[in-house]
Chain A
């Protein structure tokens, strides 16, 4: 028995060493083209046309602003952006080797085709969307299961369920929160304050911000005192759609009789408020429970704010910065930035296909601009999207990147469960210390000293860079790389998704020169630590 185990272990180690050897020499095994990647598809007129139109709009914007665009970024830089935006991590060395072998014509599309079927995409984007839908709080203990909700969202994304269908289900589903996870959108508001019943006020606020890009929150208490469009009644008439929803042991249902009453500011008494959309009221179709009517109205093809809002969010996921900021406040009447209307129309025309939306955005010139140029780059260039904007990575992107960089093979759904559990635990502790941004997902912020302390001295960085021939890439590279040059190249690719510049390579090769055994492992640890502590590692660029 023992002999058999030993043999098994030996076979594993041998296999792994062979694989790693391949990675370090710059080869990998695996299919060159992922399913769903067909270069012809991205040449076809219909796809090119929409990309061209968006490009044209940005071109005009650059001319207006008097800025020149940066050149195209490298394929690897673009792949890094996509991985961070849609999976919350950096490409693994294994994945980079696959790309180098395939050298696909449309690197960004090839890369998206690999990531979409990967559970990392669905899981990560689901968590990002959940922030907008239910926030980050754990909510009412018995009635609400946030993790179940996120898992459900992830399943929808994995199946690529049309986005309008997904949102209709969120707004109008009925049943028990464990069995019908979409209703957690409602039960998240079933707080004790509210008698453990769905809260129409909070739901109205969520619905407008998350799905329509409109902030009506202030109108809960008073008429709009800024631009004057909204009245207090707009808010409460929307909230009234949620009034019949009630929670019981049978889950979320709609009562047939339920009136929403409210005492407006300066009014003497409560009045019954009937459901009414705050704009585009002609799109409301009768039939079904009020929530069903609302769900159909929100997702109506003519109700453009719905599509615009998701386009803005998809843009923000990929760029780290929304087209219109704040992300949930898009003017109903415009004017709109370049790309927004065209992308929204395309999103509607293609049945709210999220994957297509990501594909189109990733194909645009704006997304593919470099963040470096031979001219002097100013904030004006960033504002006009003439260069790729530098944005600080979110804490879980830093953690995800760190864990991936410390492992040469891809950590994905196929990884060993223990590895995934370790990753989950380490990641959540790190995120807490780094400072979760909560729902302020895309605020523009610089780094802080406490974050630097966490990177300089934190436990996770220490554990994932220190000599550990089983778990850590730094030690494995130190041991297996055929030359100092190859070792430095490999570390740069694994951590920063690029090759070192000449002077970087020279400098670090010198630090490795002549070092053997443990000393070499420690020098590699230093190199890993250094790269992980760089600006480049914790920023999107």
Chain B
């Protein structure tokens, strides 16, 4: 970055006061200046209103039958009950009462299919829209959104993972700087953002660090910073974040108790509340994870306990986004890496099932009150057509969901990005689904 903004080369430049005086030349953010200029350019030509994504990630594989796609009375239901929703003729599983009232605001795809039945591989597939590839790592959707959309005035990480499990969103070939910033139950402090010494001493330390950095870079790899270490870029970003007012968005205790109660007194509920506050200050993608869906035994009990946390949080999130006029600017996505088998195994469990599972979408650019696709009430597999095709018995590929979301955000998803192995790669290989778009 020193090529473009020579003044930014020194680390001591990154202290708060200097930043305030030089606010205009804010090349010092989570993107390199080049990317930021490109992103600004993109901003001027954007027409889509949506600009953030909240991904409610249900790790472990939620059962479609006990969440968004019940088949009451059928053998495969195993006795699970369903409830009516605000959409005539559409049911959700019992336990989803609050979400059921909002069905006219959301779109539901009940026929998602993939070829990945292993947690890690399937998580990769659903988070990136691509199957794992031994030659490169694809960026997850949050990283793509951060890469493609403008920085705006955001000083804190634009890609955040709350309650991350084993596989939070990654930058992949876009680089580690697009990795999600990981943080935990919003009741606790945000890790490592508070200085341990006085401002004066901290600034002095950064100034001294310049001396050591210069000595190290001498006679070493050309463009050491850009090509390898990102050291001063990341320190700059870290320092900027430390003094940002926007950090308060993480603090859900600023919300009245009554609001917090609606989301549920759970880490996931608080995570969803924090997510709404974060998109309000300009964060591009927040993942909030709710784990524990992997019900190989005692399926019904496990799913019921998860749904109990999911329903109030999901519904309250949608309501809050609407109240705060953020619903049109934010896309809510809710789903897991695959569904669960229609057949119940001898342990009362359901196993992994990528042949027909549900994903919920809502918000900016997404048509509400749509239910797309259906699964076989007798428990058969859906077909896996390569191209998008809306017809009974055929599934919808994960990549098409990605293309739809990216399209709603105004991102040219067929555009190719250059990867570090010099291989051009389309942002998505799917097609946007017209039925889901406004």
Contacts and interface: CB of A to CB of B under 8 A. Distances in A.
Interface string B262-305: 00000000000000000000000000000000001100000000
A526 B204 contact: yes
A453 B222 contact: no
B241 A453 contact: yes
10 contacts: A374-B219, A381-B221, A446-B177, A448-B177, A454-B192, A457-B194, A529-B205, A533-B209, A536-B212, A539-B229
Interface stretch (B40-48, B60-68, B231-239): B231-239
Contacts of A376: 222
Interface residues of A, number: 54
Contact of A377 (B193, B221, B297): B221
A462 B229 contact: no
A92 B209 CA distance: 22
Interface in A379-410: 379, 381-382, 387, 390, 392
B196 interface: yes
B229 A447 contact: yes
Given A446-B175, A526-B205, A507 B211 contact: yes
Contacts of B322: none
B235 A531 contact: no
A501 interface: yes
Given A192-B297, A526-B204, A526-B208, A451 B220 contact: no
Contact of B215 (A392, A503, A511): A503
B74 interface: no
A500 B215 CA distance: 9
B213 interface: yes
B122 to A, nearest CB: 13
B179 interface: yes
Contacts of B241: 449, 453
Chain B CB count within 10 A is highest, among A221, A329, A446, for A446
A38 to B, nearest CB: 36
Contacts of A526: 201, 204-205, 208
Contacts of B195: 456-457
Given A390-B229, A452-B235, A539-B229, A433 B191 contact: yes
A527 interface: yes
A192 B241 CA distance: 44
B159 to A, nearest CB: 11
A35 interface: no
A535 B213 contact: yes
Nearest to A533: B209
Interface in B167-196: 175-177, 179, 181-182, 191-196
A285 interface: no
Contact of B220 (A372, A503, A504): A372
A373 B179 contact: no
B259 interface: no
Contact of B30 (A373, A445, A449, A503): A449
Contact size range, B: 35 or more
Interface in B211-251: 211-213, 215-222, 224, 227-231, 234-235, 237-239, 241-242
Given A215-B134, A530-B212, A534-B212, A447 B224 contact: no
B238 A527 contact: no
B157 interface: yes
A372 B205 contact: no
B192 A371 contact: no
A499 to B, nearest CB: 11
A457 B229 contact: no
Contacts of B157: 449-450
A371 B221 contact: yes
A457 to B, nearest CB: 5
A326 interface: yes
Given A449-B177, A449-B241, A456-B192, 14 more contacts: A221-B115, A372-B220, A373-B219, A378-B222, A379-B221, A433-B192, A446-B230, A449-B30, A449-B238, A450-B238, A456-B195, A534-B213, A535-B213, A536-B212
Contacts of A451: 234
Interface of A: 192-193, 215, 221, 326, 329, 371-374, 376-379, 381-382, 387, 390, 392, 433, 435, 438, 445-454, 456-458, 462, 500-501, 503-504, 507-508, 511, 526-527, 529-531, 533-536, 539, 541
Most chain A beta-carbon contacts within 10 A, residue among B175, B216, B239: B216
Contacts of A221: 115
A451 to B, nearest CB: 7
Contacts of B166: 438
Nearest to A492: B212
A446 B296 contact: no
A539 B221 CA distance: 13
The 3 closest A-B pairs by CB, nearest first: A453-B192, A372-B219, A446-B230
B209 A450 contact: no
A541 B215 CA distance: 14
B30 A378 contact: no
Contacts of A192: 296-297
Nearest to B219: A372
Contacts of B221: 371, 377-379, 381-382, 387, 390
Interface in B150-175: 157, 166, 175
A449 B159 CA distance: 12
A453 B195 CA distance: 9
A518 to B, nearest CB: 14
A192 B193 CA distance: 41
B208 A447 contact: no
Contact of B212 (A215, A387, A531, A539): A531
Contacts of A535: 213, 216-217, 224, 229, 231
A189 to B, nearest CB: 13
Contact of A450 (B182, B196, B216): B182
A511 B208 contact: yes
B237 to A, nearest CB: 4
A453 B242 contact: yes
Contact of B181 (A373, A450, A529): A450
B417 to A, nearest CB: 17
Interface string B98-138: 00000000000000000100000000000000000010000
Given A192-B296, A456-B235, A539-B229, A527 B176 contact: no
A311 B75 CA distance: 55
B176 A446 contact: yes
Contact of B192 (A215, A382, A457, A530): A457
Given A377-B221, A446-B230, A449-B177, A508 B193 contact: no
Nearest to A466: B196
Nearest to B228: A390
Contacts of B194: 457
B196 A462 contact: yes
Nearest to A329: B134
A532 B44 CA distance: 42
